Structure 1
């Protein structure tokens, strides 16, 4: 990645060493992550419209890819992927296309910076190369984050897959026995997943775990704004997604809250699209309310705070 491109990106975002570090430490960027300290960034994708999509790809989407909406494109096409063979951080296709893995063993506490380091490596790597992990010596120099490179208001154009056949280059060549076995093993543990669409619905996914079906919805709001809104709906008896659903709780992922509903496994994923749209409207109204919480709503908020679930 050319330095002049980094400078342009920095200028476009107001990047400077005096700005607060995104890790929330209260220190200046230059004195914290800008100095290479291994500090945990609790909300690594903050400020990007694609934040909920990135969190979903990192945490629970099994097989998905999306073009990376870079401000300045290079000679090689770049796509994000949920997971790559061997959980690699990056690989370069024989045709030069770059794939960056989201579900990897990370080196630092800043997932955003690790992704740009993998991108730096891939831009200079030979076609057919793979980067197992972002480790020492990868992407050294000035710390650059996704926020410095992406179109801030661009969402990801996610393409969900029901298997990992896309791991193979699209050249019609038959895979070797080892590669075929790797894909077969990956396919055997994949959980069927479908996106729920519609007005006001984004980053909401129906997932079949094999014994239960869930709707997992990555919310972009700050938790201190989302929880009172959910409490209002709970107190009004409007927190479910309709008949055949039950609010199960929520889990935190990279600074965002992900509400989860148990849903009737016998119903098709598409049957939850309309209930999700209706819920989005109710939640939008609850988020817009400026009234103090009633005693019933405060009680509901306290109860919801205890309904934290673990993603499995």
Structure 2
């Protein structure tokens, strides 16, 4: 490369850097970690031109209900949970976080001003926590019987943890979407037909053993157990590898560990289950597995060669959900 070409390339790089740096707020160093918590530099995250598309790897990090939020967002079909505002607002009777609302709306208000927030929405930005906060703030200011179809792609503003009390969730799983409606629809009406159509898409689902982030689902040909884990991936993989070598990775007879997927910065192990067994029959095995896993997580010795091979095999059976 000639000296002239090299100088020209350096000048272009400086120009690009200056363009990115200009997006930073006054006094914000664009090379410092982005305040959104993504782990990226500001200039490569919310300081970038396409900031609305940037994905915050763990949008619910730090919340006591992180694993439940991931489950409600990704694979639980019909469920609700009451949430509490840090600063109560009158006259809002109640606020309910839900898996999905009619037409995958972001939020709606009822005639009595109560609020429903949807986790599974049509359009979202790269920060699901900020999207939920924006939808909640809209609902708090909206007229009764209003619907927010989609949330805008704002790159700033409050996040969910800034608005609600940080506490474990008391999730209720439903076998229908009847909770969508304020009153029973007339038989044969358009609303009744639409509700029936939505209900047919629900796969039977149940919480397991009251454990956070653990759900049984009957997927038709098979039943599965999905378990959103709170640990970082490396120690969790090591613990699962130890259990695999000890032949303690399954949930007992009629179960088989099949792999895991990543969702919003956490790992979700999955087991195939005997479909003929009732969901409650897995409560005991799940609790027993939790004890085994905790013991394996507490081990801080290096993995043996057999455990490393097991870990590599487990790592090979993963994919990412976004």
Regarding TM over 0.5, the answer is yes
Q: TM-score, normalised by structure 2?
A: 0.83
Following TM superposition, by how much is the alpha carbon of 1:73 offset from its aligned partner in structure 2, in angstroms?
A: 2.2
Following TM superposition, by how much is the alpha carbon of 1:310 offset from its aligned partner in structure 2, in angstroms?
A: 7.6
- Residue in 2 aligned with 1:212? 222
Larger radius of gyration: 2
Say which is worse superposed, 275-284 or 218-227, in terms of deviation: 218-227
Q: 1:310 to 1:148 in 2, by over 3 A?
A: closer
1:168 to 2:181 alignment: yes
1:40-79 pair list within 5 angstroms: 40-75=55-90, 76=92, 77-79=94-96
Instruction: Summarize deviations over 1:214-257 as a string: whole Å, max 9, x none.
Output: 01111111111211111110111000000110001001111111
- Residue in 1 aligned with 2:112? 95
1:225 to 2:240 alignment: no
Candidates 146, 168, 171, aligned match of 1:129: 146
| Alpha-carbon distance in structure 2 between the residues aligned to 1:268 and 1:20 | 46
- Residue in 2 aligned with 1:194? 206
| Alpha-carbon distance in structure 2 between the residues aligned to 1:18 and 1:250 | 30
Following TM superposition, by how much is the alpha carbon of 1:72 offset from its aligned partner in structure 2, in angstroms?
A: 2.0
- Residue in 1 aligned with 2:24? none
Following TM superposition, by how much is the alpha carbon of 1:149 offset from its aligned partner in structure 2, in angstroms?
A: 2.0
Say which is worse superposed, 141-150 or 61-70, in terms of deviation: 141-150
Equivalences, count:
287
Q: Give unmatched runs, 5+ long, in structure 1.
A: 1-16
Q: 1:206 to 1:99 in 2, by over 3 A?
A: same
Aligned partners of 1:249 and 1:308 also within 8 Å = yes
Candidates 162, 170, 182, aligned match of 1:148: 162
Q: TM-score, normalised by structure 1?
A: 0.86
Q: 1:69 to 1:294 in 2, by over 3 A?
A: farther
- Residue in 2 aligned with 1:3? none
| Alpha-carbon distance in structure 2 between the residues aligned to 1:35 and 1:68 | 34
Aligned partners of 2:33 and 2:39 also within 8 Å = no
Q: Give unmatched runs, 5+ long, in structure 2.
A: 1-31
Q: 1:214 to 1:142 in 2, by over 3 A?
A: closer
What is the CA RMSD across the aligned residues, in angstroms?
Answer: 2.4
- Aligned residue for 2:38, secondary structure, equals coil
Following TM superposition, by how much is the alpha carbon of 1:135 offset from its aligned partner in structure 2, in angstroms?
A: 2.3
